[in-house]
Structure 1
Amino acid sequence: MFHRQTLAAAAAGILLTAGIGATAPAGATAPASRTTTAPATARVVDVRWGGHSTFDRLVIDVRGTMPPVSVKPVKELRYDGSGNKVPLAGKYFLEIRLSPAVAHNEAGASVYQGPRLLKIHLPALKGVALTGDFEGVVTVGAAFAAKPVYKTFVLHHPERFVLDVARPAPVCRG
């Protein structure tokens, strides 16, 4: 028992001594080669879309590391902060939420180059809106005439979030 206590005390002394030797005065700066910076918050810079033979695609371009993204169906789209209804025609809506993320720089100027509110004429995707850049959360709303069947994934270099929405089946008239 005495042997374990002695070893523990010796180990604590070594660690304490090593810690004291590694500290620097409060005014000292680290050498340039040791300086590290915290990763910047992800910036949402654009939203793009396109039609393909069996699906419509919505792409959100991000600068920095891709933050967690959630997609959820909502009954209507609302602007973050104000709560005002987004005037985007559609019967079904998806809210895409990126957090932590911003669509502005440190000075508060927008870095987002995509549409703020736009009607789109694709078979599945009918509209898109930037619905929020508020308190470290960026939200994008998408509108559809039919209930969207979708899949999501992330692509890298450059960072982007992808939402693929299946096109509705053609209506047979006979």
Structure 2
Amino acid sequence: MLHRQSLAAAAAGILLAAGVGATIPAGAAAPSRTANPPATARVVDVRWGGHSTFDRLVVDVRGKLPPVSVTTVRVLRYDGSGHRVPLAGKFFLEIRLSPAAAHDESGRSVYQGPRLLKIHLPALKGVALTGDFEGVVTIGAAFDTKPVYKSFALHSPERFVLDIAHRPAACWR
């Protein structure tokens, strides 16, 4: 009799496991070891460096690099509040990535770069994260002289690059 109860319990366990397993969607199987890129691009960092004839600003993105625009603005303002960004400079560029976010689905920041930082390079004088609002991430850059720049994308990993010349535009042919 004890043997029959053990067999019945084992069979019930197998059927229960099979029934529960059948209710799990196929796509929800064991998580893979390689993380899938997020559906919305995530801006995770901003880096910079000085070179002999140019300064470089790099925006690191997780996921596919979204469209990026670079616009000259008279003053940098924080998105949402409209308050002026306290970066010293006479000239400013606004880098806009959209659709993008600097936070995850839970609202936690994934951005590891500077929020507001003075920089002492020949061309680049400061950088700030100025917005992460409604699918748009904006980054401001400050300069003492009118910036002459070129921009491009690099892949694997995804990043947007802005090179700012130290010399007049004539040398950038």
TM-score by length of 2: 0.76
Alpha-carbon RMSD across the aligned residues, in angstroms, is 2.0
Q: Give the equivalent residue in structure 1 for 2:72.
A: 73
3-state secondary structure, aligned to 2:49: strand
Q: Give the equivalent residue in structure 1 for 2:171.
A: none
Determine whether 1:139 maps to 2:147: no
CA distance in 2, matches of 1:92, 1:141: 10
Q: Give the equivalent residue in structure 2 for 1:104.
A: 103
The residue type paired with residue 122 of structure 1 is L
Q: Which consecutive residues of structure 2, in runs of 5 or more, have no partner in the other structure?
A: 1-22, 28-35, 169-173
Q: Give the equivalent residue in structure 2 for 1:8.
A: none
Determine whether 1:155 maps to 2:162: no
Offset from partner CA, 1:107-141 (integer Å, 9 cap, x none): 10100000000000000000000000000000000
Q: What is the percentage of aligned positions where both structures have the same residue? A: 78
CA distance in 1, matches of 2:86, 2:37: 38
CA distance in 1, matches of 2:153, 2:112: 20
- The alignment covers a number of residue pairs equal to 139
After the TM superposition, list the runs of 4 or more consecutive aligned residues in structure 1 that deviate by more than 3 angstroms. Answer: 28-32
Q: Which consecutive residues of structure 1, in runs of 5 or more, have no partner in the other structure?
A: 1-27, 170-174
CA distance in 2, matches of 1:38, 1:161: 17
Q: Give the equivalent residue in structure 1 for 2:87.
A: 88
CA distance in 1, matches of 2:53, 2:138: 26
- Partners of 1:146 and 1:168 within 8 A in 2: no
The residue type paired with residue 52 of structure 2 is S
- Partners of 1:123 and 1:168 within 8 A in 2: no
The residue type paired with residue 110 of structure 2 is V
CA shift for structure 1 position 39 = 5.8
The residue type paired with residue 128 of structure 1 is V
CA distance in 2, matches of 1:38, 1:162: 20
